[in-house]
């Protein structure tokens, strides 16, 4: 008869190795799955370079100036006031959520939009704001600077009147 005894320290070591392997597998799975913002739509969120930021906005049909008008750091507040609640609603409608970044600093890249319907003859009046965290778009908007203004998500407006 063959008898093998296992010490408690060997069981602990085996459990630790198993936990590490499971954690590594989970991280690997999460890093290779589609970003939840994509929701199967294939939207690429990479924004670490100027080319990636421009490509992000181009996915929605936007034409923009090559160079940003402004680059600044923004602190997402720990507590949202009414303005941030409304702004985050726009983000949630485009499958993004700034509430997970409360207290974090993000970069805001602002670009001039050249082809917003109705504003083609008003240069500089419509801009895109990209909020970028660790090289990934985490939020943003398209807005007009005139008195009537507009504030919307990244989707190109439906010009067919539907």
What residue spans define the domains of the chain? Answer: 50-152
117 within 8 A of 152, measured Cβ to Cβ: no
Cα 85–chain centre separation: 17
pLDDT digit string, tens, across residues 14-60: 544 554 445 444 444 444 433 334 343 578 999 999 999 999 999 99
- In our burial notation (b when 16+ CB lie closer than 10 A, e otherwise), range 110-132 reads ebbbeebeebeeeeebbbbbbbb
Q: Report the C-alpha gap between 100 and 22 in whole angstroms.
A: 25
pTM: 0.72
């Amino acid at each position: 008869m063959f008898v093998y005894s296992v010490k408690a320290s060997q069981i602990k070591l085996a459990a630790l190795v198993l936990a590490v392997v499971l954690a590594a597998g989970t991280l690997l799975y999460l890093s290779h799955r589609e970003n939840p913002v994509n929701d199967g739509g294939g939207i690429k969120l990479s924004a670490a370079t100027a080319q990636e930021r421009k490509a992000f906005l181009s996915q929605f049909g936007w034409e923009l100036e090559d160079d940003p008008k402004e680059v600044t750091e923004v602190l997402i507040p720990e507590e949202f006031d009414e303005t941030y609640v409304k702004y985050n609603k726009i983000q949630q409608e485009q499958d993004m959520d700034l509430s997970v970044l409360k207290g974090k600093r993000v970069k805001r890249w602002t670009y001039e939009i050249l082809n917003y319907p109705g504003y083609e003859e008003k240069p500089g009046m419509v801009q895109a704001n990209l909020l970028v965290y660790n090289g990934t778009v985490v939020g943003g908007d398209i807005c007009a600077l005139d008195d009537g203004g507009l504030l919307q998500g990244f989707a190109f407006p439906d010009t067919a009147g539907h």
